[in-house]
Structure 1
């Protein structure tokens, strides 16, 4: 049996704290699934960082190999939809939280979780997008369904230096929208403008408490991976009929607002969930990324690449809010 490396986390029975270590496993150590994949790349997401925290609510069983994204080649398949040597993507579902994930040289997963790699993307670029890019693309797709147009004014992106935010700025620019980026890292203005932001505003403009539930209408729409007080102020600044797509909670889970933006300006708050998004529509979003949102040159400005033995340090940085753009893991 071939031995391979993986990042394994487990709960210490005495201290109840998480042990995190690179270890060697065999194929027989992997959970059941119809398809065995040799992993080429994974990626780093905020959810992966949370998985390494003690008493987190992300991981549902231990031991666990974290990593909610992976891209690789099929090594063996019991499902006729996938063949040996085929390049594939797996993101979301229980990957890395309830089922061994992407921080491993091999993964065995249910066939129903797998997306064939779009021909326009490489395994590496697929992981630059990963769950963050998928979430950003799904947010944009929902805004388009709500009627946003390039002529109707700026779209705000909060948490813009994070994975979802960086992707959203770049993707909206690629589609021809005017993008305004919000960040607490004022030193990153040049980075955000290089991705396509027309201007950058301070996070403090949205983080103040006690502001009016209706403020001057500035944005035709917004993409918000932050939540909390920031989301309340974004809602207050939407123009009539505007929409905000929310996908995160780094700013908190409570939204201190009123019904006023909804019943006076008719604004919309749409929730974005990538974890359980249906497979048929999931494939459509990946094609949307590959055919309309992908740009080779600009995407390289977002990415940092690390090795498997650097993952723990990187995940610690992301939960400490000391991270920018997207980090991929070369397995």
Structure 2
């Protein structure tokens, strides 16, 4: 008896042509090896996924490929005792959606070590409302706290504030009581950012100083940067004594035009945030925070919209053009 088929978004390249992606029907036999099969109820769209849809060589290792760096749903099959059929679970990071087929499929098969039991108070939908973006934002905020930047030290600035990571970082910092300054090139979303908790909203040019000054006037107690490049260099040069900058993006560039003066004269810390390979113990701690005292899912609802696999192409194009905002939830089964 043939296995039941289900939809998946497959990225392919014929000969030397550009990569294309389309929804195809596959079966469980097509999935990569692993311990746990998950029925995917929700995934989400991240910048890395948009790159994967076009087979970006820095993301996708081989074709054909299924993007989707996170997913949440119920266990359909398990060869390990840690998970049983019907368990609600999530997966973010590791090789999902890059080295291995990802969440843009109605079913995924992954190693058990990648699977996280669904935290209390979260559902597959709210888990993906956070997704990799929320997990990354929470790590940024955790780094700022761990570095000892208290609430009375001054303003914390967040770049790319209408994006997935940035918007969740604004909400988390505001919930914890920080004075949040949101940076955006989309002033039409100012009201939404204020609802998330931003006390001030500024334009991109205010954190993009192209002068050759080694240090700039101290403005920020800490920063969450999703942009990189000269923006990150500007933030480091303008962060106050013993401040912390958590960096997690490079849409503005992957080089850092900077001297060592922010580090050796002001004691500024640059904390790199990596979500994919985060060890299990801190990974579980972050998800516990997001499902407990840091839970801002209700605040994020106005930012969310849902799409099917057939509707992803429009969103991918908008994201790569810098025209997206908020959280895009993907429903692979529809």
Instruction: Map 1:236-247 onto structure 2 (within 5 A).
Output: 236-247=237-248
Shift of 1:211: 4.6
- Partner of 1:273, secondary structure, is coil
Shift of 1:232: 0.7
Q: Determine if contact 1:211/1:233 at 8 Å carries over to the other structure.
A: no
- Partner of 1:180, secondary structure, is strand
Partner of 2:14: 12
Partner of 1:224: 225
Paired with 1:104 and 1:313, the residues of 2 have a C-alpha distance of: 18
Shift of 1:183: 1.0
Partner of 2:48: 47
4+ residue segments displaced more than 6 Å: none
Superposed CA deviations along residues 57-97 of structure 1, whole A, max 9, x for unmatched, are: 21011111100010010001001100000000001111011
Unaligned runs of 5+ in 1: none
Superposed CA deviations along residues 208-266 of structure 1, whole A, max 9, x for unmatched, are: 31252211111110000111000111011111000000001011011111111111111
Shift of 1:205: 1.3
Partner of 1:196: 197
Partner of 2:330: 329
Cα gap change, 1:197/1:55 in structure 2, threshold over 3 Å: closer, same or farther? closer
Partner of 1:99: 100
Q: Determine if contact 1:235/1:261 at 8 Å carries over to the other structure.
A: yes
Q: Determine if contact 2:35/2:109 at 8 Å carries over to the other structure.
A: yes
Paired with 2:35 and 2:112, the residues of 1 have a C-alpha distance of: 6
Paired with 1:259 and 1:184, the residues of 2 have a C-alpha distance of: 29
Unaligned runs of 5+ in 2: none
- Partner of 2:140, secondary structure, is helix
Q: Determine if contact 1:68/1:96 at 8 Å carries over to the other structure.
A: yes
- Partner of 1:293, secondary structure, is coil
1:163 equivalent to 2:173? Answer no
Q: Determine if contact 2:11/2:55 at 8 Å carries over to the other structure.
A: no
Partner of 2:306: 305
Partner of 2:28: 27
Shift of 1:16: 3.0
Which segment is superposed worse, 74-83 or 277-286? 277-286
Superposed CA deviations along residues 17-61 of structure 1, whole A, max 9, x for unmatched, are: 112110000100000000010000000000001112355321011
Shift of 1:177: 1.1
Partner of 1:209: 210
Shift of 1:125: 0.5
1:67 equivalent to 2:73? Answer no
Paired with 1:188 and 1:212, the residues of 2 have a C-alpha distance of: 32
Q: Tell me the TM-score normalised to structure 1 length.
A: 0.97
Partner of 1:81: 82
Superposed CA deviations along residues 87-129 of structure 1, whole A, max 9, x for unmatched, are: 0000111101111100010001110000000011111000010
Q: Determine if contact 1:40/1:105 at 8 Å carries over to the other structure.
A: yes
Shift of 1:316: 1.5
Shift of 1:317: 1.1
Which segment is superposed worse, 191-200 or 288-297? 288-297
Q: Tell me the TM-score normalised to structure 2 length.
A: 0.96
